[in-house]
Protein backbone atom coordinates (compact mmCIF):
# COMPACT_ATOMS: atom_id res chain seq x y z
CA UNK A 1 0.00 0.00 0.00
CA UNK A 2 1.51 3.28 -1.14
CA UNK A 3 0.45 6.71 0.03
CA UNK A 4 0.81 9.60 -2.35
CA UNK A 5 -0.08 13.22 -2.87
CA UNK A 6 0.63 16.12 -5.17
CA UNK A 7 3.95 16.62 -3.38
CA UNK A 8 5.27 13.16 -4.36
CA UNK A 9 3.09 12.25 -7.34
CA UNK A 10 5.94 11.35 -9.71
CA UNK A 11 7.69 9.12 -7.16
CA UNK A 12 4.40 7.44 -6.23
CA UNK A 13 3.54 6.76 -9.87
CA UNK A 14 7.01 5.34 -10.52
CA UNK A 15 6.86 3.07 -7.45
CA UNK A 16 3.34 1.86 -8.32
CA UNK A 17 4.26 1.09 -11.92
CA UNK A 18 7.46 -0.67 -10.84
CA UNK A 19 5.47 -3.29 -8.91
CA UNK A 20 4.03 -4.66 -12.14
CA UNK A 21 0.74 -5.15 -10.27
CA UNK A 22 -2.65 -3.62 -11.05
CA UNK A 23 -2.90 -0.09 -9.64
CA UNK A 24 -5.92 1.21 -7.75
CA UNK A 25 -6.05 4.76 -6.41
CA UNK A 26 -8.42 5.57 -3.56
CA UNK A 27 -9.71 9.02 -2.66
CA UNK A 28 -10.65 9.22 1.01
CA UNK A 29 -13.16 12.04 0.60
CA UNK A 30 -14.86 13.80 3.48
CA UNK A 31 -18.06 12.68 5.19
CA UNK A 32 -18.87 10.21 2.40
CA UNK A 33 -18.48 12.92 -0.26
CA UNK A 34 -15.86 13.35 -2.94
CA UNK A 35 -13.13 15.85 -2.05
CA UNK A 36 -11.58 18.05 -4.74
CA UNK A 37 -8.12 17.85 -3.16
CA UNK A 38 -8.20 14.04 -3.25
CA UNK A 39 -9.26 13.97 -6.88
CA UNK A 40 -6.51 16.45 -7.76
CA UNK A 41 -3.94 14.27 -5.99
CA UNK A 42 -5.13 11.20 -7.88
CA UNK A 43 -5.02 13.12 -11.13
CA UNK A 44 -1.43 14.20 -10.43
CA UNK A 45 -0.38 10.57 -9.93
CA UNK A 46 -2.42 9.28 -12.86
CA UNK A 47 -0.97 11.65 -15.46
CA UNK A 48 2.43 10.30 -14.46
CA UNK A 49 1.14 6.72 -14.89
CA UNK A 50 -0.42 7.36 -18.31
CA UNK A 51 0.56 4.60 -20.70
CA UNK A 52 1.93 2.40 -17.91
CA UNK A 53 -1.39 1.09 -16.62
CA UNK A 54 -4.94 0.76 -18.01
CA UNK A 55 -7.22 3.71 -17.24
CA UNK A 56 -10.97 3.73 -16.65
CA UNK A 57 -13.30 6.71 -17.06
CA UNK A 58 -12.89 7.76 -13.42
CA UNK A 59 -9.12 7.92 -13.94
CA UNK A 60 -9.57 9.98 -17.09
CA UNK A 61 -11.84 12.42 -15.22
CA UNK A 62 -9.19 12.85 -12.51
CA UNK A 63 -6.48 13.36 -15.14
CA UNK A 64 -8.58 15.93 -16.98
CA UNK A 65 -9.20 17.79 -13.73
CA UNK A 66 -5.46 17.75 -13.00
CA UNK A 67 -4.60 19.06 -16.48
CA UNK A 68 -7.07 21.91 -16.03
CA UNK A 69 -6.02 22.74 -12.46
CA UNK A 70 -2.27 22.12 -12.45
CA UNK A 71 -1.22 25.55 -13.77
CA UNK A 72 -2.65 27.04 -10.56
CA UNK A 73 -3.16 24.09 -8.24
CA UNK A 74 -2.78 26.19 -5.09
CA UNK A 75 -5.80 28.30 -6.06
CA UNK A 76 -7.85 25.19 -6.84
CA UNK A 77 -6.95 23.72 -3.46
CA UNK A 78 -7.92 26.98 -1.75
CA UNK A 79 -11.29 26.92 -3.52
CA UNK A 80 -12.11 23.37 -2.46
CA UNK A 81 -14.27 22.58 0.56
CA UNK A 82 -11.27 21.01 2.28
CA UNK A 83 -9.15 24.03 1.41
CA UNK A 84 -11.74 26.33 2.94
CA UNK A 85 -11.64 24.25 6.12
CA UNK A 86 -7.85 24.62 6.23
CA UNK A 87 -8.05 28.38 5.64
CA UNK A 88 -10.74 28.77 8.31
CA UNK A 89 -8.47 26.93 10.76
CA UNK A 90 -5.75 29.52 10.10
CA UNK A 91 -3.50 27.07 8.26
CA UNK A 92 -3.26 28.68 4.81
CA UNK A 93 0.46 27.88 4.58
CA UNK A 94 -0.45 24.19 4.58
CA UNK A 95 -2.24 24.66 1.25
CA UNK A 96 0.81 26.30 -0.32
CA UNK A 97 2.90 23.36 0.89
CA UNK A 98 0.41 20.77 -0.40
CA UNK A 99 0.47 22.45 -3.82
CA UNK A 100 4.23 21.92 -4.31
CA UNK A 101 4.12 19.57 -7.30
CA UNK A 102 6.65 16.72 -7.00
CA UNK A 103 8.41 18.46 -4.11
CA UNK A 104 9.57 15.15 -2.63
CA UNK A 105 11.49 12.60 -4.71
CA UNK A 106 10.43 9.56 -2.71
CA UNK A 107 7.41 7.30 -2.58
CA UNK A 108 5.98 6.14 0.74
CA UNK A 109 4.62 2.78 1.80
CA UNK A 110 2.18 2.15 4.64
CA UNK A 111 3.39 -0.69 6.89
CA UNK A 112 1.96 -2.46 9.92
CA UNK A 113 4.45 -2.16 12.78
CA UNK A 114 3.09 -4.29 15.62
CA UNK A 115 -0.46 -3.07 15.10
CA UNK A 116 0.53 0.53 14.45
CA UNK A 117 0.41 1.91 10.92
CA UNK A 118 3.65 3.58 9.90
CA UNK A 119 4.66 5.40 6.73
CA UNK A 120 8.11 4.55 5.35
CA UNK A 121 10.02 5.49 2.23
CA UNK A 122 9.90 2.84 -0.48
CA UNK A 123 13.20 0.96 -0.24
CA UNK A 124 15.34 0.91 -3.33
CA UNK A 125 13.55 3.69 -5.15
CA UNK A 126 16.02 6.02 -6.88
CA UNK A 127 14.29 9.00 -8.51
CA UNK A 128 17.43 9.86 -10.47
CA UNK A 129 17.72 6.46 -12.18
pLDDT tens-place string over residues 41-70: 999 999 999 888 889 999 999 999 999 999
Check if the beta carbon of residue 66 is closer than 8 Å to that of residue 46: yes
The pTM of the full predicted model, rounded to 2 decimals, is 0.89
Give the largest CA-CA distance in the chain: 42
Domains and CATH numbers, the chain: 2-121 (3.90.1560.10)
- Position 5 scores a pLDDT of 95
Between 125 and 32, where is the model more confident? Answer: 32
- Position 127 scores a pLDDT of 58
Check if the beta carbon of residue 101 is closer than 8 Å to that of residue 41: no
Check if the beta carbon of residue 41 is closer than 8 Å to that of residue 5: yes
Amino acid sequence: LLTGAIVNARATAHAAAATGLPVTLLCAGTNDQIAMEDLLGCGAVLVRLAGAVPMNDEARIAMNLWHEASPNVELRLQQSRGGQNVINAGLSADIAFAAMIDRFPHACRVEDRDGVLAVRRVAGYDPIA
